[in-house]
Amino acid sequence: MPETPVFPEGLRDRISIDISPRRRRFALRVDSARGEIRLCLPPRYNLRRVQNFVDSHLGWIETQISRLPRPVAFEHGMSLPLLGRSCTLNVLRTGGRVTHIEFENDVLHIRTPRDDFTGRLKRFLNDRLREMLTAKAKEKTGTAGLKFSALQVRETRSRWGSCSSQGTLSFSRRLVYAPDYVIDYVVAHETAHLQHHNHSKDFWALCRNLSDDYERGKGWIRRHGDSLYRYP
């Protein structure tokens, strides 16, 4: 393993090194999903040149790190955007071994014996998001005269959604924290890919027609999408 550059105290834990045989130049990338900056390097590099590159970009690195979403944890009484609405978490500690979760209007009740119920709540939210996405996908494919073969909710780091050549629609689980019109736009986007596997004018025209609020949804996910990574 080649030697690595020296990072200032306070930044070391927020910068990772990504070495790729396909890369020819040095680059810095913001990874909101991991809450870090990636220093991308080719497999063979001159340490002095890399150090100079890092030193010359320290101001940019510090600025980008300050803009990364600060993670929050699930806790009683917090307000959380869920499935297009603002909800309050009501956590009640119970005996036994089972965690029960249910919506009541804009309150999400969590009755649990666990100190850390994050995993259970994430699975619950994934299921609710999948139901919402499926309903929207069925509506939009019906409108467009298209069909999808399957729908998945996954942990993704670079895409909010994707459409495979076999007709499988996949979506980031973090959309559960997005406004409804954003979720609707992403579903419209991937539904349009069932017919157009590109970003041609015909694709964007279909995407616009299938989206309830095209401009608003597209603009929000571009400007504020990184904020969805602050939640577990």
Residue 153: pLDDT band with limits 50, 70, 90: very high
The dihedrals phi and psi of 73, each to the nearest 5 degrees, come to -115, 150
15-19 and 36-41 as β-strands: parallel, antiparallel, unpaired?
parallel
pLDDT in the model for residue 112: 95
Nearest to 185, CA basis, from 200, 164, 204: 204
What pLDDT is attached to residue 75? Answer: 92
Gap between the Cα atoms of 30 and 22, Å rounded: 19
| DSSP-assigned letter for residue 89 | E
pLDDT of residue 3: 75
Banded pLDDT at 2 (limits 50, 70, 90): low
Structural domain spans, the chain: 12-67, 117-230
- Residue with the bigger pLDDT between 105 and 31: it is 105
Q: How is residue 228 written in tokens? A: 């969805």
- In the 8-state DSSP scheme, what is residue 24? -
Q: What is the mean pLDDT of the chain?
A: 92
| pLDDT exceeds cutoff 80 at 191 | yes
Q: Determine which of 61-70, 80-89, 112-121, 161-170 has the lowest per-residue pLDDT on average.
A: 61-70
Secondary-structure class of domain 117-230 per CATH: alpha beta
Kindly tell me if the per-residue pLDDT of 34 is higher than 80: no
pLDDT (tens digit per residue) in 212-228: 999 999 999 999 998 89
Res. 168: pLDDT tops 90: yes
In this prediction, residues 188-209 reach a mean pLDDT of 97
Residue 69 has pLDDT above 80, yes or no: no
What percent of the chain has pLDDT above 70?
99
Asked whether the whole model's pTM tops 0.95, one would answer: no
- Cα first-last separation, the chain: 33
